[in-house]
């Protein structure tokens, strides 16, 4: 019969202590703190960039101009003596629902008749083309007259500029000197398309205006002309409108062109 064996646990109360262990522990804490700080800073930077990108993306898809209507006007001396071309375009322009405000002063309008292309800036933009248009900060009518009969920096003004006039502005935020459109605003954009035939002293009236001798815009909007217009705001999507002029203008002074 085997004798009973007794087992005893060895007691070892000694532990690793010393300055080396303390240094390692402190180093681990410092590394964890630095890593946490880097992660927090990185996440904050990414959040700011995401918010900025989201804001810009929202503005790009929400700041949309809307061309509601385009009419063409022929130059004339009388109701029976009119040019054979469209010599001024009147665009009714508003904003889409939910759109951000649009500064018309920064809008560029490109218009082409298939042969000539004019890139137009707002008449009150003094940073465009190196010299400001002959601009009246309060009178839309004076600016419209100047569009047809002035030369800016050696180039006919209608080749480089467009003018505007407000139709609806409930909050009185829109003016010639500060042309900012809000949702609900409606304006008329005037584009000079005076042909070489209608220029000079051949015709002295355009619409209700009598600017006298008119300079050519370089465009030639005869019947059956394909016209393309693109409005590009400072931010947001560009808006385009394309139409074909009628096969005959007949005896009409004002011609409906779009839509």
Residue-wise pLDDT for 199-236, tens only, equals 888 899 998 888 888 999 999 999 999 999 999 998 88
Q: What percent of the chain shows pLDDT beyond 90?
A: 56
Q: Is the pLDDT of residue 61 over 80?
A: no
Q: What was the pLDDT predicted at 113?
A: 96
pLDDT at 240 over 70: yes
E strands along the chain, which residues? Answer: 65-73, 75-78, 81-82, 88-95, 102-103, 108-112, 117-122, 151-152, 155-156, 161-168, 180-181, 186-192, 205-206, 226-232, 239-244, 254-258
Chain segment 3-38, per-residue pLDDT in tens:
566 655 555 555 555 677 777 778 888 888 888 888
Note the pLDDT of residue 30: 85
Per-residue pLDDT tens over the stretch 77-104: 998 999 999 999 999 999 988 788 899 9
**pLDDT score, position 42:** 83
């Amino acid at each position: 019969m085997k004798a009973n064996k007794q087992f005893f646990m060895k007691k070892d109360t000694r532990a690793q202590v010393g300055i080396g262990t303390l240094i390692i522990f402190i180093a681990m804490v410092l590394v964890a703190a630095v890593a946490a700080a880097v992660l927090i800073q990185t996440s904050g930077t990414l959040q700011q960039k995401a918010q900025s990108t989201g804001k810009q993306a929202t503005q790009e898809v929400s700041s949309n101009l809307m061309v509601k209507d385009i009419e063409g006007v022929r130059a004339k001396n009388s109701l029976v003596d009119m040019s054979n071309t469209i010599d001024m375009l009147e665009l009714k322009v508003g904003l889409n629902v939910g759109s951000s405000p649009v500064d018309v002063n920064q809008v560029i309008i490109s218009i082409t008749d298939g042969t000539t292309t004019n890139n137009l800036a707002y008449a009150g933009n003094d940073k465009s083309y190196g010299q400001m248009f002959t601009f009246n900060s309060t009178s839309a009518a004076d600016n419209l007259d100047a569009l047809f009969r002035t030369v800016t920096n050696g180039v006919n003004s209608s080749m480089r500029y467009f003018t505007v006039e407000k139709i609806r502005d409930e909050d009185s935020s829109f003016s010639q000197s500060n042309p900012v459109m809000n949702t609900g605003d409606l304006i008329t954009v005037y584009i000079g398309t005076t042909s070489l035939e209608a220029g000079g002293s051949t015709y002295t009236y355009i619409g209700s205006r009598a600017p006298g001798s008119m300079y050519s815009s370089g465009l030639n909007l005869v019947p059956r002309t394909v016209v393309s217009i693109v409005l590009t705001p400072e931010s947001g999507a560009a808006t385009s409108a394309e139409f074909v002029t009628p096969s005959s203008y007949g005896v009409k002074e004002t011609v409906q062109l779009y839509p």
